[in-house]
Structure 1
Amino acid sequence: MSEAEESEQQQLARNLGELLQELRVAQAGVQILFGFLLSIAFTDRYAHAETYIRMTHFVTVLFATAATALLTAPAAWHRILFRHGRREQIIRNSNRFALAGLVSLAVAMAGTVLLIGEIVFGGWLPIVIAGLVAVAFGVLWFALPVRDRSLPEGSSAGSTP
């Protein structure tokens, strides 16, 4: 059955299934990152870390926590509202949660790179590298898809006719 032949409810069900599948990929990554960040606080080296390192760690944990909450919220919304004819609302809000969760995850990843870089190298280099990581996530996850959204269906900015 092509997309044109789907009923509105079939399309909504497919969209929701695709969204939840995409979130499973992101959830695994954020859960591993979150576990890693939590474990850092229980090391001997962390006990002697400077305030800057501790603050960077805490802010990074907060962004990982936000990513976890935002990327798992669609499953909770679906579970609570799925038999109440609210599929369109679930998809709309879940899309917003997913995008905000990806932003939070990108910040948490850049913060983790900054944190590890500060412990390994110190100085300005970790700040530059974390900035480049943040830019890479921004370009790959947001700027390129937004650019391609304005192109005709089936084409890509990098392809030739």
Structure 2
Amino acid sequence: MAIREEIIRALEEPHKYHYKAEWLNSKNPKERQLFEIFAFGDIKNTPENMTLTSLMRSKLEKLTLITLSEKYNELSYEVIRQECQIEDHSIIETHLIQLQDVFEVEMDSVNLSIKILKRFDCRDVYCHEKELTVIETPKVTKEYLVNNLRNWETKLKQNILE
């Protein structure tokens, strides 16, 4: 079954990085799987039998990069290359520039590394609204966020008391 053109357009939309609403509202199982990957997964979650357009693949590379930016403050190009399955450093830098609405980054083209300076947005959060069919363990869940906030609160309290 072919994917509808409107679904492809939504997944290719350059400045759209959130697909949870589409995942929740999708009635078509194949389209729902695609939205699940784009909402909660990364490039490595794409099934081998799933065909993506080049723009959809590029979007998944960027979504994977956003996930990495949520976990690390500093990243080497090599880690980005492996995790996002990108071969060329210029593509990494292009993606970083295109993601300036999501985070502010300092690129070091000599040492081939980046520093995340500010974050403005994040990936969709999985809250067990529906059962996942492709992603086994989403990176960002409600529980993950609550634990991080509690850890942050503890750290702040300790810093104040010191």
Q: Which has the higher helix share?
A: 1
Greater Cα radius of gyration, structure 1 or 2: 1
With normalisation by structure 2, the TM-score equals 0.30
With normalisation by structure 1, the TM-score equals 0.31
